[in-house]
Structure 1
Amino acid sequence: MLQVTKIFYFEMAHALAGYEGACKNIHGHSYELHVTVLKAIDDQHYLPPPGFIIDFKEIKKLVNEYVIKELDHKLLLSKGYLGKQSHLSTLANLVIWEAEPTAENILIFIRLVLEKHFSASIQLARLKLFETKDSYAEWLNTNVHR
């Protein structure tokens, strides 16, 4: 198997309902997203032309269209949060979710969206979302990492 990773950056604000720490308040992050895909190959031979398992441009196109476009410079709030802060519901850049917009839930969203769009021979292998420089959530496709 061979893996490649493309890194993306986006800015997003969120707040968490039912949490008593500082994250109950609207605040933003400069997110860093690592998207790793893999393909089963014969690693005893070089790859045939064009010599890669997927063009980095294809990963970039899919992630920009289905993830970055949806989240970048947005305010992501849950219905639960808006139930208590209804005055925010008219904001133009608001994205409303059923779930709390934690790094973990954002990764689940990204996985569900991206898995639909890669070709059958390419598998989503790993997602890593940095909320800060030293804190991240990670999703690992356990079907391919055994």
Structure 2
Amino acid sequence: MAQIRITKMFSFETGHALYGYDGKCRNVHGHSYKLSVTVIGQPISDNNHVKFGMVIDFGDLKKIVKEEIVDVFDHATVFNKNTPHVELAKELSDRDHNVLLVDYQPTSEMMVLDFADKIKKRLPAGITLHSLKLQETETSFAEWFASDN
């Protein structure tokens, strides 16, 4: 049977700052991110299976991405924990803000790498992560393709 790609789109609001950057993005700011998740696999061919004809139930894919990405990053402020931003992060956390400390510079490029690792670990057997597209603004995005990695 043929391999089929399916895509589910997500959106979330996240703030961040790029420590050491030489432009405006060194300041704390936010984005309305759009994440497109594409997986590839063969549709279930067992006509007795409740999900007959599906590569993966869109609801199952949604659950994975919501738990791993959207629920974690939505309305959070992301800082690289290996920078002096940890002081700001602590102050914000003490004021009951949602702060996320990561091991990387929170650029779209690095976030999409992180997201790919998290999603791949949760996909069922026979389903492969094909690509991710993380759109930071209307005109700027980072993409990850399994074939490149």
Residues 1:115 and 2:120 aligned together: yes
Q: CA RMSD in A?
A: 2.0
Residues 1:105 and 2:110 aligned together: yes
Q: CA deviation at 1:79?
A: 2.1
SS in structure 2 opposite 1:126? strand
**In the aligned structure 1, how far is the partner of 2:88 from the partner of 2:45?**
56
2:99 corresponds to which letter in structure 1? Answer: L
TM-score normalised by the chain length of structure 2? 0.86
Number of residue pairs the alignment of both structures matches: 139
**In the aligned structure 2, how far is the partner of 1:68 from the partner of 1:27?**
18
Contact 2:40–2:127 (Cα < 8 Å) also in 1: yes
> Using a 3 Å threshold, how does the CA distance of structure 1 residues 5 and 87 change in structure 2: closer, same or farther?
closer
SS in structure 2 opposite 1:89? helix
Q: CA deviation at 1:9?
A: 0.3
Q: CA deviation at 1:80?
A: 3.8
Q: Percent identity?
A: 37
TM-score normalised by the chain length of structure 1? 0.88
Residues 1:86 and 2:87 aligned together: yes
Q: CA deviation at 1:97?
A: 1.3
Q: Which residue of 2 aligns with 1:74?
A: 76
**In the aligned structure 2, how far is the partner of 1:104 from the partner of 1:87?**
23
SS in structure 1 opposite 2:111? helix
Q: Which of 11, 14, 23 is equivalent to 1:12?
A: 14
Q: Which of 19, 24, 28 is equivalent to 1:26?
A: 28
Q: CA deviation at 1:18?
A: 1.2
> Using a 3 Å threshold, how does the CA distance of structure 1 residues 84 and 53 change in structure 2: closer, same or farther?
closer
After superposition, give the CA deviation of every residue in 1:28-68 in whole Å (9 maximum; x if it has no partner).
00000000000146xxxx95542111110011000001111
Gap regions ≥5 residues in structure 2: none
1:141 corresponds to which letter in structure 2? Answer: A
